[in-house]
């Protein structure tokens, strides 16, 4: 049986038994999970956050029979799949999984970055929710279950608000503290409802698009941040700030991800050695290449090659 603090609303997909990987100590150290007894607010099953400096094994197929999962990716990129449809998140995006939907990470790892999640119990329909009166709870529950889009740009200030919610959980001692915490969660949910209806995923500005196109046209000789800044006529500091805001990653990390995406494509080709790919893409050694590759994919180049060869449609870092 898979063990998790979320087990009261999460079940693995039906079919062959799937064994969930045991989290490594360094992975656990970068996670904060607030379970239902610690939160003490009706309907809020779990609140969590991870700040990963490297990638870890991805999610196995699962579903939440009675719960809604709301994720917010504050930094990085992440891939999810719901009922066969793949969604690629970037920093600043929200993503929803509705009750009963089968979902996983599309054979991709949980990538390096900062991710928040909130689980709400929305079934049975008459259950308590955020200390609200029954009529108000029904209205909120109905609005959440009827959200029109599952992948969208989050409302401004979502990152700060979620940090405030986690801080409020840690400080909550009295019933009044719990009411204040419920008010913050309600504010987050109302912002989520509004953002889902707006369904905005901003296109990068022309300058940042130009820098992205320039990166995409390169492989081994990838440009430096100062070179990219000069290309789009911005100071390095201004360029870095705008790039991170519009793309969800610092420019240097995006450049490195692009190089590793090229590496993944090369490793799927028959007869290509890890050492040859490392030298071809300008890494100083195959050992350094393997270290960086594993940090972003959760696998060594050799492990990745063994897993995906023969599968030309295997996903790569975006």
The answer to whether the beta carbons of residues 143 and 193 sit under 8 Å apart is yes
CA distances in angstroms from 229 to 86, 102, 237, 240, 260, listed in the order given: 32, 43, 9, 8, 22
Residue 271 is predicted with a pLDDT of: 81
Asked if residue 190 lies in contact with residue 144, where contact means CB atoms within 8 angstroms, the answer is no
pLDDT in tens, 186-199: 999 999 999 999 87
The list of the chain residues with pLDDT below 50 reads 1-8, 15-18
pLDDT at 1: 23
Query: Phi/psi zone of residue 184: left (φ > 0), alpha (ψ -120 to 50 degrees), beta?
Result: alpha
pTM above threshold 0.75: yes
Secondary structure string (H, E, C) spanning 15-75: CCCCCCCCCCHHHHHCEEEEEHHHHCCCCEEEEEEEEECCCECCCCCEECCCEEEEEEEEE
Q: pLDDT value at position 37?
A: 94
**Can you give the pLDDT at residue 10?**
55
> Residue 266: what pLDDT?
87
Domains of the chain: 11-198 (2.60.120.10), 206-308 (1.10.10.60)
Q: Is 287 exposed, middle or buried (0-12, 13-18, 19+ CB in 10 A)?
A: exposed
């Amino acid at each position: 049986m898979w063990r998790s603090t979320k087990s009261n609303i999460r079940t693995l997909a039906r079919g062959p038994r799937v064994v969930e990987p045991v989290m490594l100590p360094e992975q656990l150290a970068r996670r904060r999970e607030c379970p239902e007894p610690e939160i003490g607010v009706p309907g809020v099953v779990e609140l969590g956050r991870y700040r990963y400096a490297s990638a870890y094994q991805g999610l196995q197929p699962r579903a939440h029979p009675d719960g809604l999962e709301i994720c917010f990716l504050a930094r990085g990129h992440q891939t999810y799949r719901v009922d066969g449809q793949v969604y690629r998140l970037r920093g600043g995006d929200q993503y929803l999984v509705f009750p009963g939907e089968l979902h996983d990470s599309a054979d991709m790892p949980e990538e390096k970055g900062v991710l928040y999640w909130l689980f709400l119990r929305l079934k049975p329909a008459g259950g308590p929710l955020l200390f609200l009166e029954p009529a108000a709870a029904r209205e909120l529950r109905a609005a959440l279950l009827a959200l029109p889009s599952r992948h969208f740009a989050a409302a401004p200030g979502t990152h700060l608000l979620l940090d405030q919610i986690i801080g409020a959980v840690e400080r909550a001692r009295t019933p009044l503290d719990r009411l204040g915490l419920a008010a913050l969660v309600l504010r987050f949910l109302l912002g989520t409802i509004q953002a889902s209806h707006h369904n905005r995923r901003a296109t990068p500005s022309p300058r940042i698009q130009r820098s992205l196109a320039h990166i995409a046209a390169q492989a081994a000789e990838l440009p430096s941040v100062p070179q990219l800044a000069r290309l789009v006529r911005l100071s390095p500091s201004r360029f870095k700030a705008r790039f991170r805001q519009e793309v969800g990653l610092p420019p240097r990390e995006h450049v490195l991800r692009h190089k590793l995406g090229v590496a993944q494509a090369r490793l799927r080709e028959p007869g290509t050695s890890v050492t040859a790919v490392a030298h071809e893409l300008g890494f100083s050694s195959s050992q350094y290449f393997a270290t960086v590759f594993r940090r972003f994919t959760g696998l060594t180049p050799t492990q990745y090659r063994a897993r995906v060869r023969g599968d030309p449609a295997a996903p790569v870092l975006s």
